[in-house]
Structure 1
Amino acid sequence: MTTAELPAALVLPLAAVLGLVIGSFLNVVVWRVPRGESLVQPPSSCPGCGHQIRARDNVPVLSWLVLRGRCRDCGGSISARYPLVEAATAVLFVAVVSWAGVTWALPALLYLAAVALALALIDIDTKRLPNAIVLPSYPVALVLLALASLNPGGASDWGAYLRALIGGAALYVLYLVLVVVYPGGMGFGDVKLAGVLGLYLAWFGWAELVVGWFAAFLVGGVFAVGLLIAGKAGRKTGIPFGPWMLVGAGLGLIAGEPLAQWYLGLL
């Protein structure tokens, strides 16, 4: 049996468990990276009493439910965001595996899913996209997409890899021009993230790249207008754009080709 023939009954639960574990780590990333803290030391502890969290209290989602959202030592409240991030990562991983299947592109997509969730939360919290996450994503994406292009055991597709390099550079330059022309609209962190997303989107196709780029501005614009109408933001209110870039990229991957075919059909 090849990896492509693995039954969904086995693959999807494994994806969910992996997502829970990665989601637990993402909680550490989201909290520590913006503060410039180490991801490995010191061990996780209760912010209220400082007691180190026991191993049995670090089981994703389950430990929070067993403890009823309270620290075992001091009884202080533990934010529901922790289990929600873990559960969201599990759901995201299952969705990615369901959509992509078990292929050599899967590691690249799962990495993107994990990084996307962490960056979205950090940008919402701090209005920053840390270099510590974005910059290493370039070599990781290049290596994992090269593996997907090599496609061991199947037909290689180095044309997709070349397209990814061109698309990554193109989206980076496009966002750089936008920042130079209208510096108040977005930050340089968005420019650096654009290059990473361009690699992924273009690897799958030009339609995915175009739709992913356009969708970011569309959904971000709709959200901003909604906030204005609701009186939750003003014309000069800073709204993190990174999450919408990531949502747009997801829409580009999922709907890029079908939308392109639909549009060409109209013509």
Structure 2
Amino acid sequence: MTATAAQPLLVAPLGLLGLLTSPLAELLIARFLPRLGGLPSPLVRITTAVGSAALFILLALRFGFSPALPAYLLLAVLAVQLSRVDVAHHLLPNPLVLLLLAAGLGLLTMSAVLVPDWSGLLRAAAGGVILFLGYLILGLVSPGGLGMGDVKLAAPLGMYLGYLGWTQLFYGGLLGFVVGGMMTILMLRLKRGIKPSEVAHGPAMFAAAIGVVLLLA
């Protein structure tokens, strides 16, 4: 089904689902990861809910009724929440990154079975390994530039990008550093006295990956 045909049936309900899923995710994170300080402020919660809803709508337009849609909706929810946590705490919690990896792999496997698209699933596994190893090498060479949380996050993002294609994997991985550099320059201009290593890199990785998912069909 085309994106136009999916619009009236899928876009509005998924926008509402995004609004509802975001606060639910924050409640669960506050419950199971209390070390992060509980629920964020009302302004942050409104912002994350609107952001999640917008991503759900864009992904509905991108995928329509594709079996891959649930996997990328999960990516959207956790991208918003992990970005929020990374900005606030400079931390990408292992349980959330592992959830993105394990649940994402399960949903992509289900998609590969339904389509079927076994080559896409193998490419997803290879993409996760490739991007993880690339970030790991860079993290070891320049430990001040990348944290281990960023290295671990590269695995699920590489998986999601690889499922769509090698081109998506290449540009998604490369643009993560471009967006990260731009965000670092912006933050250094806005906040005097901070170091480049103090700027969260996770949001840039998510922005690049989701941008490539949405724009490169």
Measure how far apart 1:171 and its partner are.
Answer: 0.6
Could you tell me which residue of structure 2 aligns to residue 68 of structure 1?
Answer: none
Measure how far apart 1:18 and its partner are.
Answer: 1.1
Give 2:78's aligned amino acid: V
- List gaps (5 residues or longer) in structure 2: none
Where 1:184 maps in the other structure, the secondary structure is coil
Task: Find out whether 1:83 has 2:46 as its counterpart.
Answer: yes
Task: Find out whether 1:204 has 2:203 as its counterpart.
Answer: no
Contact 2:172 2:208 in 1 (8 A): yes
Could you tell me which residue of structure 2 aligns to residue 216 of structure 1?
Answer: 176
Could you tell me which residue of structure 2 aligns to residue 16 of structure 1?
Answer: 15
Separation in structure 2 between the aligned mates of residue 235 and residue 83 of structure 1, nearest angstrom = 29
Separation in structure 2 between the aligned mates of residue 236 and residue 35 of structure 1, nearest angstrom = 28
Contact 2:176 2:209 in 1 (8 A): yes
1:182-240 deviations in Å (ceiling 9; x for gaps): 11111111111100000000000001001001111101101212333456354455111
Contact 1:208 1:255 in 2 (8 A): no
Task: Find out whether 1:173 has 2:133 as its counterpart.
Answer: yes
Could you tell me which residue of structure 2 aligns to residue 75 of structure 1?
Answer: none
Separation in structure 1 between the aligned mates of residue 45 and residue 75 of structure 2, nearest angstrom = 20
TM-score by length of 2: 0.89
Task: Find out whether 1:184 has 2:144 as its counterpart.
Answer: yes
Could you tell me which residue of structure 1 aligns to residue 117 of structure 2?
Answer: 157
CA 1:233–1:93: 2 relative to 1, 3 Å: farther
Contact 2:188 2:196 in 1 (8 A): no
1:70-118 deviations in Å (ceiling 9; x for gaps): xxxxxxxx72222222222222211110111111000101000001000
The structure with more radius of gyration: 1
Q: CA RMSD in A?
A: 2.6
TM-score by length of 1: 0.73
Measure how far apart 1:6 and its partner are.
Answer: 6.4
Q: Within 5 A, what are the aligned runs for 1:1-267?
A: 7-29=6-28, 31-32=30-31, 34-36=33-35, 79-151=42-114, 155-230=115-190, 232-235=192-195, 237-256=197-216
CA 1:36–1:179: 2 relative to 1, 3 Å: same
Give 2:121's aligned amino acid: Y
- Higher RCO structure, 1 or 2 (CA under 8 Å, sep 6+): 2
Identity of aligned residues (%): 32
